[in-house]
Structure 1
Amino acid sequence: MAETAATAAETVVKTAVKTAVETVPATRSLRREDLHVAVHDPAAASMNFLNEVAARFPDAVSLAAGRPYDGFYTAQDIDRFLAVYRDHLTGRGLTPAQVDRTLLQYGRTNGVIGGLIARMLAADEGVEVPADAVMVTAGCQEAMVIALRGLCAGPDDVVLAVEPCYVGFTGAARILGVDVVSVPEAAGGLDPEAVLRVAHEVRASGRRARALYVVPNFANPSGVSMPVPVRRRLLDAAREADLLILEDDPYGLFGLDDEPRPALKALDTDHRVIYLGSFAKSVFPGARVGFLVADQPVVDASGRRTLLADELSTVKSMLTVNTSPIAQAVVGGMLIDSGCSLRAANRGKAEHYRGNLRTLLAALAREFGDDPRITWNAPEGGFFAVLNVPFEADEALLEVSAREYGVLWTPMRYFYAADGGERAIRLSCSVLDPDQVEEGVARLGKFVRDRVS
């Protein structure tokens, strides 16, 4: 039987540390079974396996990596944006000592650039929220952890998530011991009636569904985007089921066209949506700056009213104290430099990603258009597409693909809680040049045809 991704990743780690372990004096050993399940999380092990395969085959074309294109960033950007933000602080009347303190000391738990982010959301998304509703986080991953921890108060509280689902969210929930209940995604995307059905099933089982996690624009991994009528119906369904919605939107800037796709938060009239954002794709990942918008009113027993973002600040203070003010300053400088519009700042990037996705889809049509056994979707934007193949695309075949054909991809089954995705491959085109996309699909075509024949 083929070695699983978790087992393969564990083998690599064990080999790497074997010598070091043997030199440690024989004292008390820890039982692996006594450690939290997150330590041996299968999803995390799968991602480690992908990284390990990529490291062993550096000449393989990676249609697996979902990170941004390296050509958009230089280290000089840090100096430039930092200078812009320093000038911004000086222009607001801060003395040199106050500027230094703002950048170099511990700062406000919820961050110092919330006002700039609120302006950006208003300009780009039509989302009007007060600055105090914005929490700046150490990447969007921390925003997920904070939202999950704050909302799920007891063992019977669960979250729903559209499946296939980004492994970072399910992994965060697993670390916290929060159960994730899957809402299957149909071929055309999410069905709000399925959300209602699953929420009712959860309630009938004696548990409480607190929120639904969804990526409405060009989702990772499926690439599916939610039509506007479905977005409106989803908000109605959330109201009927008394659900909050965790809206994650890392790819919304990168559609194939300029057709407006309103954020769920922009359509939200009764504070159902907690918006999760990231600057990893729109600025650069190394800044590790994300944010959440939680403008839901919270009322305590005495009638005192606060915003959910304020209440969640206690959770953040115990995780990271505050997000690096230096990293915030870099992102803040970029926002100021672009007039607080990520759409304006990312026009060149959007054109690159559009070109790459069009190249990927055209190359798939050339390679597989004559074989009805092989199909793929055609996303309206983003970084990902899904190829359906007539064989099980597992880790063993991925290693064969890397070693013998020089191309990497991601098994879709990584994004399912149980069964699903066994005969599907996630393809990413974000990190490559167009000619590399062409070459990668050509290599993939040979690999797939050889497996089919």
Structure 2
Amino acid sequence: MSVPAETVLHRDDLHGSLGSPAMGSINFLNEVMGRFPDAISFAPGAPHTSFFGEIDVARHTARYLRHLEEERGLKPEQAERLLYQYGPSRGLINDLVTHALRTDQGIDVPQDSVVITVGCQEAMLLTLRALVASPTDLVAVVNPCFVGLSGAAAVLGVDLVAVDDTDDGIGFAQLDEVCRAARTAGRRIRALYVAPDFSNPSGGFLSLEARHRLIAVAEREDFLLLEDNAYAFTADQPGALPPLKALPGGERVVHLGTFAKVCMPGARVGYVVADQRVRHASGRTGLLADELATLKSMVTVNTSPLSQAVIGGILLEHQGSLASVVSAKAALYQRNLRLLLDALDRSLGPGTGAPAGVSWNRPRGGFFVRVRLPVPADERLLERSAREFGVLWTPMSHFYLGDGGDRQLRLACSYLDPDTIEEGIGRLTRFLHAVCP
């Protein structure tokens, strides 16, 4: 019997986004972690597993089913069928999400302005697809940028333009120049993606003054702000600031959120708040959320009703507010961040004999610390770090548009325990003494 000929496709005939650095970074890190399972990994920004013991999928689902019966008047068989069937593209738990946003974050929007998505990643994809209508459209990003956003842009063929982060969170002078350059070139900035609270990967933070200023720039230059809110809950509460969406001028803000960090990453439930008005050629007006729901119906059809039921049940068990849920988690992440920074100070700070040129930022929340080195922190160096010293990290160059970050690395501390953080920084210290001049 003859062996069928192999079907070979040429990579050049596949979509160009497959060669994007953003697309390969997560797979690369997973591959390295798989080859060095005994290494301590500061690479993934995953939630701490100790909180998974609080999750009871059956109980949460039952609580949501009871809500459907008592509050929406469904019979038990109707409520169950709602979770077993395809669901509406806009979502099932929109009322609970809007209540939580109003209670916890001061974001007061109608429930039809919310679309429940498959994680925040789908929220980004849908929003970019809806807003970028022409090859002349651009999306600005604070650089370095979360690879989920830059990767989604690559898949969609959306052109990005970088605005570097600064001590103020964003370079406003450069943002002005980017807007001027776009107009001169006959292009327009449609949106700016920003994570104002402890961004991934740099831990950047926008002051209240900077938040107001950013909204003013968006109004003046006529673009939207895409606000990624994933890490705001980790703020030290006396220093917590309102999200952009809750500030005056918040109608300029499309708010992107997720329950991955605060509830359960495996549920893959996120949301997008898009209450901007859309005027049709007929004169009829609707919401941007309507357009996103239409797009979603052709992407994932709907977000899993069972997953939504789990998140809905958690919200109901806490009277519609996640404040009590996130407080314990925020305390753990604050502790881990403090332990990481303390270990860096003791091992690599002034007076320790650390190699010259090693420094790091000091975020007040979030999962990440950015470390600057006097040598290139590339994938080859990461391989040596894992093989010879048993410690993993993420090259910051993965997060930059174009060149940048080649002498920086990212440390994530969210899912590690105190002893592991201490041992990991010890290994990192020995590694840096070996590779830095």
**Structure 1 match to 2:221:** 241
* Partner secondary structure for residue 253 of structure 1: helix
Q: Aligned AA for 2:33?
A: A
User: Aligned in 2, Cα 1:24/1:91: closer, same or farther, shift over 3 Å?
Assistant: farther
Answering whether residue 12 of structure 2 is matched by residue 33 of structure 1, we say yes
Note the alpha carbon deviations across 1:26-85, whole angstroms, 9 max, x for none: 255221101001223322222211111101111111111111111111495211211111
Cα distance in structure 1, aligned partners of 2:293 and 2:18: 26
Q: Where does residue 77 of structure 2 map in the other structure? A: 97
Q: State the partner residue of 1:425.
A: 409
Q: Percent identity?
A: 50
- SS of corresponding position for 1:319: coil
Q: Which moved more, 1:377-386 or 1:27-36?
A: 27-36
Correspondence for 1:325: 305
Whether the 8 Å contact between 2:40 and 2:424 is mirrored in structure 1 is yes
Inter-partner Cα distance in structure 2 for 1:193 and 1:389: 27
Is the 1:376–1:388 contact (alpha carbons within 8 Å) kept by the matching residues of 2?
yes
Per the alignment, residue 66 of structure 1 pairs with: 45
One-letter code aligned to 2:386:
A
Mapping for residues 15-414 of structure 1, pairs under 5 Å: 25-74=4-53, 77-92=56-71, 93-269=73-249, 271-370=251-350, 371=354, 372-414=356-398
| Cα shift at 1:90 | 1.6
* CA distance in structure 2 between the aligned counterparts of 1:24 and 1:139, rounded to whole angstroms: 43
Contact 1:193 1:237 in 2 (8 A): no
How far apart are 1:235 and its partner, in Å? 0.2
Amino acid at match of 2:207: P
SS in 1 for 2:257: strand
Structure 1: runs of 5+ lacking an equivalent: 1-22
What SS is found at the alignment partner of 1:162?
Answer: strand
Stretch deviating more after TM superposition (102-111 or 245-254): 102-111
1:36 and 1:81 map into 2 onto residues whose CA distance is 41
Alpha-carbon contact 1:200-1:241 (below 8 Å) kept: no
Measure, in 2, the Cα distance between the counterparts of 1:350 and 1:39: 36
Query: Cα deviation per residue 1:348-385 (whole Å; 9 max; x = unaligned)?
Result: 11111010000000001011112452111000100000
Matched residues in 2 for 1:182 and 1:263: separation? Answer: 22
Letter of the 1:413 partner, please give it. Answer: S
Instruction: Provide the aligned C-alpha RMSD in A.
Output: 1.5
Shift in alpha-carbon separation, 1:24–1:228, aligned structure 2, 3 A: farther
Change in 2 beyond 3 A, CA 1:397/1:133: same
1:270–1:364 Cα change, 3 Å = closer
Separation (CA, whole Å) in 1 of partners of 2:107 and 2:367 = 24
Residue number among 406, 416, 420 corresponding to 1:436 in the alignment? 420
Residue 270 of structure 1: how far off its partner (Å): 5.7
Q: Is the 8 A contact 1:412 1:424 kept in 2?
A: yes
Question: Which deviates more from structure 2 when the two are superposed, residues 423-432 or residues 35-44?
Answer: 35-44
What runs of 5+ residues in structure 2 fail to find an aligned partner?
Answer: none
Distance 1:134 1:24 in 2: 54
Deviation at 1:298, TM superposition (A): 1.1
Q: What letter corresponds to residue 29 of structure 1 in structure 2?
A: V
Separation (CA, whole Å) in 1 of partners of 2:361 and 2:168? 10
Partner of 2:154, secondary structure, is: helix
Q: Normalized against structure 2, the TM-score is what?
A: 0.96
The alignment of Structure 1 onto Structure 2 pairs a total of residues equal to 431
Once the two structures are TM-superposed, the CA of residue 268 in structure 1 deviates from its matched residue by 4.0
d(CA) in 1 for partners of 2:230 and 2:143? 17
